[in-house]
Structure 1
Amino acid sequence: MGRRHWHVIEEEDGALTMTRNMPVRFDLAVETILSGVTGRRRLAHLVRQDMWRALQSLRGFAPAVRVRRDARSMHVRAGGAVLGRFDRSGYEALIAQVLEDETNRARWMGGVR
């Protein structure tokens, strides 16, 4: 699989999961809810990119993002698989910083380009 290829899984509950590796694993994960509704695939892609930038030094990291939409919001689970030992709480804190950054959130939901 090339660098641009990702597995995109449409789940029965209406969620979409984007991952590099199959099966999907969330050895570390952080969840958030974003107000408003946007495209699940676009949102998953943008979150994955920003999370990768923050965690690219984590050896053996394979990002995964799950997005589920309801009537008024987007539920995001970001994290992924990690080969080997790692500081779970430290890296989950980095993911949380990415997910809670107001500039990121506005861009992901289409407010800032």
Structure 2
Amino acid sequence: MTRRTRSTWHIQREGDTLTVARRMPVRLDVAAEASFPACNRLVLAQQIRQDLWRRLQRLRGFAPVVQVVREADGLRVTAGGQLDAAAPEHTSAHVADMLNAPHLRQRWIAHASKQAATPSVGEARDV
């Protein structure tokens, strides 16, 4: 199921995979992966997407993508996106650094865990 938000973000759920993307179909020209504990996948994806955009918005034609896959021991996140031009050297490494930055991970997990415990009206719990 694909849903498009008012702010033109696509949210796609297919089984254990949740994808938040600016453009469909999804293309990952740059990407990095990291593992996270179980929490609200949509909130986690949106938090990561916001910080990813803040870091890479100056890249020509950058369209963020965050995929969150539910696994037995938690979540696997792939973050990156599509570019209209060649990716500068080390772009994927910058994304990996962001995904593994302790202060960001702590904030994302805290926010997504809080949201998992108290879902808002009309929003399904996505743990």
Describe the shift of the 1:3–1:84 C-alpha distance in structure 2 as closer, same or farther (beyond 3 A). farther
Q: CA deviation at 1:103?
A: 0.7
Q: After the TM superposition, which segments of 4 or more aligned residues of structure 1 sit over 6 Å from their partners?
A: none
Task: Please identify, of 38-47 and 68-77, the stretch whose mean Cα deviation from structure 2 is larger.
Answer: 68-77
TM-score by length of 1: 0.87
- Aligned residue number for residue 63 of structure 1: 64
CA contact (8 A) 1:40 1:67 kept: yes
CA distance in 1 between counterparts of 2:63 and 2:86 reads 14
Query: When the two structures are aligned, how many residues end up with a matched partner?
Result: 109
In structure 2, stretches of 5+ residues that fail to align are 115-127
Query: 2-side partners of 1:85 and 1:75: how far apart?
Result: 26
RMSD (Å) for aligned C-alpha atoms:
2.0
Equivalent positions of 1:28-47 (< 5 A) are 28-34=30-36, 36-47=37-48
Matched, 1:16 2:49: no
TM-score, normalised via structure 2 length: 0.78
Aligned pair partner of 1:6 in 6, 9, 18? 9
Rg: which structure is higher?
A: 2
Identity %: 40
